[in-house]
Structure 1
């Protein structure tokens, strides 16, 4: 576990801890008009696949294209045993049986995006095999099994968007018939905190991505609505109550929430909806994604800022001491994934505030030497999807 990044850009000394949650009676106002359909003229999915493919083809020596091709495809992936269903797990954690599937999908989709025709064919064959076998259809209807399903569905949706134009009508229909019901299952309500915390954010990022890609306006709207709810739930300092109570992993789950927020904002940009600039006002205070992001980075610099919340120690994970924050998300997790992947998407936007500049600095310091940054929560090879250099 890494130590706190004390060398990071200075924290805003004016931050004030807010110990109480915003009153449920204080209904926030939303500065961006709600939409009921994907705006005509916008791209669909997590990013504009055609534009990205063109960029990578026109810049064959770019670091972005190198990142897409950095991990070799393994023909053995085609022989991975199909998983019929995900199950609940004992104690802390979630079903990781789909990790090999997800890794294959994320690597192959990045390579296919960069023009690797062999990888594209492998990805098509791989997905069709799992679709024809009814993979994940028998997933247990419990929240942690569904959490694992959500993690797998986002890179699956992104992979489909990348190879869709090269599929026959029959192949498209087979994949849609498999993916669509699995995506919709992630909308399940379990009557608990998982219906409101990072589990729900992940679900709505998946639903929104699929809705954008298929033109399902109701699914797309779920992401816009959830983004608004997240900002409304955030405290004035940007902390998220259901995440910061998680003891040593308070910042870990704040980061997970920010990843899903970033995915929603990127999808919304394709529909001509600006979530990056959206704000919610409650009790006279305006909150945006940058408020949440700033709190997360401030907490890394000065962990004392989160102690009033993390002391609740609610399902804290492997570390029981809330005074010992888990900064494991700052490094490659040893299985190829990197939890800072979402920062790749933020880094390509022209900075409009100091928070964005801090985020870019964090990415360069903690993630630059570990690229490509690949993560299910970000949809796959984020460096391949967004890096411009």
Structure 2
């Protein structure tokens, strides 16, 4: 079953002319030959599934903001194709519309007009912006008199006042005080719960892990890494060293479990894989089931309380981790499965020998399906209404 896609970027590129005193005349008379150019984006390819945010991490000058503006139509792409399904709201570098002489109210009116909101609806939305931003009487003052925190409150409040299908957000969750950041997360969670999609570009890797299931690392205009958000964050911070470390040469998986796995609430889930023990050791297996809650981050749903024994002598073994009466609701999850052994130096600690994990980008997908199509849990209660 194919998934709905909110944003598609295929081979997108963007170039800027490097204008100096000599090249300015050539550009003025449409003589582009010989004018040096800077390639800000090179062959960018990615998709944003409907109902998800996809993150982009990168250093200053990597091309994050240029990519967001190109997706939003502020810049025209020099190559490739961009497709967006739904109504769009963009927040580029905290307020790339208008001039600082505008008051907060005028700024909001201008951005809503750009978004195509009719005047009848604008008044209701401006009242919401005024209340959400907590600017009070300063809402009528020029934007250039605002502090950075006040500007952040105005820009975010305006960009998210309406219920849009697609949001493009640049660095917005890394500014403002903790109180306002909490309000931002609540509003974004509300929008995502209604099926909104978007792209978040930021230096704040924690925001990427909290909001996105998938993320990309961009450098010099090119995507250099794509994968689970946590893995992309580790790559952004540590480069090629961003991988789990395993104790080598003791035990390893020799066959990947079924992927994706499917299960139903209340039924047994069995995770099977083949492993090889190369050196004598007390090898066991542990599994963790996790789920991304947009706006909250990755949450552990289930974790093995006890180690499932695998073997102690060299040879091949079938690993079988069983979760009886699967006590989770329908949805998409990630399973991490590891071979472990007791740490000979620290009692009670486990040493990881090998594994599949979303941190490494090779986690196991789990789809929990409910044939009755129930939302959440249903209590066995009967109601009876009698007339007095």
TM-score, scaled to structure 1: 0.24
Greater share of strand residues, 1 or 2? Answer: 2
**Higher RCO structure (Cα 8 Å, ≥6 apart):** 1
- Find the structure with the greater CA-based Rg: 2
Greater share of helix residues, 1 or 2? Answer: 1
TM-score, scaled to structure 2: 0.24
